[in-house]
Amino acid sequence: MDVKFKEQLDGLLEKYTELLIGESDPELKEKVEAWALYSFIAKSLPPLAKHWNDTYPDAKEEMKALIAEIKKMNEELRSKKSN
């Protein structure tokens, strides 16, 4: 991929992370990227996500924890904004 495109895509991910959970740093961006990719795959190709979950049950549990963490951070951000 083109370097400029990679930088622009990284900026998009950074802004999405900030809007989704209220802050952005490299670790949070990586978590949101993993969450977004998994969510897309689970919605567009459920059998592939199921196969991955069955093949890697430890990774499935880690993904569930990651999803819960992002959901909690998003709910906290929404709560702050509504008050």
Q: What integer is the mean pLDDT of 63-74?
A: 98
> 77 pLDDT exceeds 90?
yes
- Bigger pLDDT: 83 vs 76: 76
Residues 6+ away with beta carbon under 8 Å from 38? 49, 63, 67
- What's residue 12's pLDDT? 98
Is 67's pLDDT higher than 80? yes
Single out the residue of 77, 72, 66 nearest to residue 30, CA to CA.
Answer: 66
CA distance 58 to 64: 10
Instruction: Compute the average pLDDT of residues 43-62.
Output: 98
Name the nearest CA neighbour of 35 among 58, 56, 43.
43
- SS3 annotation, 31-55: HHHHHHHHHHHHHHCHHHHHHHHHH
**Tens-digit pLDDT profile for residues 3-47:** 999 999 999 999 999 999 999 999 999 999 999 999 999 999 999
Residue 83 scores a pLDDT above 90: no
